[in-house]
Structures are given as structure tokens and as C-alpha cells.
Amino acid sequence: MKKVPLSRVFVNDEVREAGMRAINSGWYILGKECEAFEAELAAYVGTKEAVLCSSWTTGALMLHHAMGVCPGDEILVPSHTAFPSIEPMIHRGARPVFIDIDETYCIDVDLLEASMSERTVGILPVHLYGHPANMDGIFLAAKKHGLWVVEDCAQAFGAQYRGQRVGSIGGAGVFSFYPSKNLTVMGDGGCITTNDSVLAGKLRMLRNHGEKSKYVHDFVGYNFRFNEIQAAIGRVELRNVENLNEHRRDVAARYNDRLEGVVQIPPERPWARAVYHMYVIRTERRDALAEFLKDKGIGTGIHYPVPNHQQPAIIKSCSDLPRLPKTEEVVTQILSLPIYGDLPMEDVDYVCDAILEFFGKFATANPSGGGK
């Protein structure tokens, strides 16, 4: 039986050689590979600075620390996102204020102002599934009320909002390099991008125990450092990411063409260039379809089955959680289909054929993308 995984890491000989080059260098933490990777990331995203760290979560925690997020502060964030989006603010003693989503699965900007209080300090929009959030609406609300904006770019490396790459729009952006991400380093890892060089300098100290110079610590920090082997690999992945993202868009276009009218396909706004970290469909028959595809050897996922405002860890500590009708509806219907940067088109057609068969509309795979 044919096997189609949900995701797969891009690996070539250059990736392998880069890893060995770093191993053979004899320097493994925050060396020349890391310095070069930071410079290349900043140039790609379009910011003055990029600060490598050990994961998205540690990057956001350092950023909240450096920005002075305090106990009692409130941060507006969508509930429909990975749980790590809210962990760092909670560790700082801040309270996530959960906002419902719009049709792109991103934060609904029309609900922001009604959710603010005198304790609101910032907005953390999530560019979910590789589609950017509506940043104009977010900044309109943020500027009116004097709030900061930090972009959660974990799923959107290379995505653009009105021609500008995500991570260069807010005061800072935080990225993840987890293996399934559009840009990976073969393990955990992340970075913060910003145009604020003073902030970047503080973040570099925070990731290394608050150290200003060897054995001199200006403040208490963390051990959230990055390593040379993953930086060397990340530099190769970065050189390939545009082609890999373009292929993801081609895969999404094939899915759209063959599945439109059969399931609800993901929207892409005219102002967006999505990079399809995930290709997420909606159907009321989600669970049965997932089981059918599993029997065909096709991997699927649900991102995410439990919204954050309904997570046990949150319910235990909050008594005034909101009702978020759109979020609560979509989590019962969403299904992520296989997509990655070198997914063969014949595998895409195999997935489409299986879905059409499930809905009783089977058609032979058509390389032109038709066959509905």
C-alpha cells in the first residue's frame, strides 16, 4: 500500500555535508555558523537583527522578559493555536485574553477592542497554517490603545503580508525551526527578528545567562543558546526555502482545484502570500474521513483538536473563560492533509483520489489538476 506522510524534512547531500562541517570544526555553541545564520535570517526576513535561540517557546519567553511583561498584564491572543503560543506569557505571570478567529483561522481583528482592558499591554497575532493575520487591523487597534505587537511566525516562515515578510511587521517576530516547519534545523530551534538593536542585544545576553563578557553577568538570564551543527544545517535549508515554499503553494493549488466543492478548502486573502505550513480542509465528516485516509496509508492531523481556552491547564486557573463560537466549531471539522516542500504531485493526486472516493465522487488522477 502506498504511504503518504503528513510531513517530511527536506534533506540533501549539502545538508549532510554542512552538519559534518560543523562537527569537524570543533566549535559547537554560538560560533561562526550561528553568526552567519543570524545575518542570513535577518536579511531574508527584512529586519536589522535575528537572534537565535533554542526554540520558539524560549524565544518568546526571553522576549516577554526583555519587554517587561509583568504579572497581571493581559495579552490578546487567538485561542486557536498551538499551546506554546501562550505558555511564555503565563510563565511571566501575564493573562492570555482569548480572541475568536476569522475565516483565515487567524485572530479576528474586529473583536480586539471589545476585549481590551486597562491591563492590556500587547497583541500576539498568530500567522496560523502559513497564512498571515490581518496586520493592518491589528496595528490600527494597537496604535489606538498604545499596545505592542509581537508576531507568532512559528508556522509561517517566508509568508508575506502586502509584500512584506512576516516577522518584519511587528515590534518583533518569533520563529520555530521544529522539524515539520517550512524552515527547519533538524530539531528544536527558533529565532527572534526585530529592528530594535538594543532589544536584540539584551536577548543575546538573556539566552546566555545574562553574560555581558566572559564570567561577567549583568543580570540573571537563561541557557537558551543555539548550536553550530543546527546553524550550519539551517543555512542550507534557508537557501532552499523559497523553492520549497513555492512547491507547497503548487501542492495547495492542486488540492484546491481538485477538492473545491467537495470539502471546504483553506482561503487565501488577496493581500496574503501563504506558505502552507499546513493544508487544512473542513468537513463535518472529519473523523470518518481521517480513518478512511489512514486505511489508504495517508497521514493526516488535527491542528488543533482542543482550543487553548478549553485546555485543562487553563480551565484550572481561570473562571471567566469566553465562548468562542467560530473556534469551537472549526476544531470539530478541521483536518490537515499531507504537505511538505518536496511532496510528489502523484502523491497529492493519490490523496485527492482517496478523498473523492470517500465522498462518492471518485475520479482518476488528472495531472492537469482537474478530475472533479
- Structure confidence by residue, pLDDT tens digits, 221-262: 999 999 999 999 999 999 999 999 999 999 999 999 999 999
DSSP H/E element including 193: strand 190-194
Element (H, E) at 192: strand 190-194
The predicted pLDDT at position 370 comes to: 39
Distance CA 279, CA 170 (A): 25
Total-model pTM: 0.95
CA distances from 43 to 194, 326, 359 (A): 11, 37, 46
If 0-12 CB within 10 Å is exposed, 13-18 middle and 19+ buried, where does residue 216 land? Answer: exposed
3-state helix, strand, coil in the chain (%, to 5): 40, 20, 45
pLDDT of residue 365: 41
* pLDDT number for residue 109: 98
DSSP 89-148: HHHTT-EEEEE-B-TTSSB-GGGTGGG--TTEEEE--B-GGG----HHHHHHHHHHHT-E
Cβ atoms of 79 and 100 within 8 Å: the answer is yes
Rounded to 5°, the CA angle 57-214-37 comes to: 45
* Low-confidence residues of the chain: pLDDT under 50: 363-372
Count, in order, helices (H) and strands (E) of the chain. Answer: 11, 14
Amino acid found at 291: E
What superfamily would CATH give domain 241-358?
Answer: Aspartate Aminotransferase, domain 1 (3.90.1150.10)
Q: Which residue intervals of the chain are DSSP H helices?
A: 13-25, 32-45, 56-66, 87-91, 135-145, 197-206, 228-259, 286-295, 312-315, 325-330, 345-358
Domain 13-235 has CATH 1.25.40.20: no
**pLDDT number for residue 236:** 98
Contact yes or no for 331/80 (Cβ under 8 A): yes
C-alpha span between 337 and 302 (Å, rounded): 9
C-alpha angle 278-284-290 in degrees, rounded to nearest 5: 55
Q: State the first-to-last Cα distance of the chain, in angstroms, to the nearest integer.
A: 24
Predicted confidence at residue 321, as pLDDT, reads 83
The whole-number pLDDT of residue 301 equals: 98
- State residue 371's pLDDT score: 35
Q: Return the number of other C-beta atoms located less than 10 Å from residue 304's C-beta.
A: 19
For the chain, the structural domain boundaries read: 13-235, 241-358
> CA 207, CA 214: separation in Å to the nearest integer?
14
Largest CA distance in the chain: 69
Whole-number average pLDDT of the chain:
95
